[in-house]
């Protein structure tokens, strides 16, 4: 699959950039290196937001988490550009959490009702990871493309950055002027969101493969372009 620009993604990025200029998040003439990082993040998050509009009518116990994936994805780019690194990591981790919640609760409407009824009851991330690992859809795909393992590793990495597990994970911003866009950090965040998206899109595409097959060609291309070639071969082999 050629990794060439998709017209709809390019047009949306132009609109997003105009909005960010109006809000003063980026300058009227942002540097090319900033645009490059912004395009990488936009391309990744756009593909995640697309699920909200293309999966059609989902039951509430599955739809809520697709909506939240879109909500988190929408916020990643402006938070990164404003220099809020910890918030960006938190949103990226939220995408992972809600991908696994979507798969789990799509199969568990009773537990979904209990979660919303009982404020002290919840399903741990460890339990969610274990459930998805044993899901029939992923038993054969995981050995061929280890999306679940990759997301588990990334989840731990993001949690370390959020909670300051090590001294090197601490931001140490002690003045408001220290909260600013930094290109080095932007590149790191772009890499993190791309790592997140390549596996979350794979899991969602596998879980909803019948629906994805009915998507318009351009929509499928937007999603599948974010997935590594190895993963695309696994996905296409399951159709």
Each residue's pLDDT tens digit, 84-120: 999 999 999 999 999 999 999 999 999 999 999 999 9
- 210 CB-side CA count, 13 A: 2
Entry pTM: 0.93
What's residue 85's pLDDT? 92
Q: Which of the four pLDDT bands, split at 50, 70 and 90, describes residue 177?
A: confident
Q: Which of the four pLDDT bands, split at 50, 70 and 90, describes residue 41?
A: very high
Contact 67, 93 (CB under 8 A): no
Contact 234, 139 (CB under 8 A): no
What's residue 239's pLDDT? 59
What's residue 179's pLDDT? 84
Across the range 54-62, mean pLDDT stands at 92
What are the residue ranges spanned by the domains of the chain? 7-237
Residue 107 CB burial class (10 angstroms; 0-12, 13-18, ≥19)? middle
Residue 60, Cβ neighbours under 10 Å: how many? 12
Distances, alpha carbon 114 to alpha carbons 71, 109, 119, 165, in Å: 23, 9, 9, 32
């Amino acid at each position: 699959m050629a990794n060439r620009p998709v017209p709809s993604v390019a047009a949306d990025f132009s609109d997003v950039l105009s909005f960010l200029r109006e809000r003063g998040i980026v300058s009227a003439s942002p540097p090319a290196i900033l645009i490059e990082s912004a395009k990488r993040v936009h391309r990744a998050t756009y593909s995640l937001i697309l699920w909200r509009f293309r999966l059609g009518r989902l039951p509430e116990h599955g739809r809520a988490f697709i909506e939240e994936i879109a909500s988190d994805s929408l916020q990643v780019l402006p938070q990164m550009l404003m220099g809020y690194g910890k918030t960006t990591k938190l949103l990226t981790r939220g995408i992972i959490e809600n991908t696994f919640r979507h798969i789990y609760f799509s199969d568990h409407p009773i537990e979904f009702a209990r979660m919303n009824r009982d404020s002290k009851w919840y399903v741990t991330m460890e339990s969610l990871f274990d459930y998805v690992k044993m899901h029939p859809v992923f038993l054969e795909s995981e050995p061929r493309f280890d999306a679940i393992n990759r997301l588990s590793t990334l989840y731990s990495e993001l949690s370390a950055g959020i909670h300051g597990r090590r001294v090197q994970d601490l931001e140490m911003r002690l003045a408001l002027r220290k909260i600013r866009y930094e290109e080095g950090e932007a590149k790191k965040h772009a890499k993190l969101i791309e790592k997140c998206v390549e596996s979350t899109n794979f899991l969602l595409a596998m879980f909803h493969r019948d629906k994805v097959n009915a998507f318009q060609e351009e929509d499928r291309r937007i999603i599948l372009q974010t997935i590594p070639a190895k993963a695309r071969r696994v996905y296409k082999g399951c159709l």
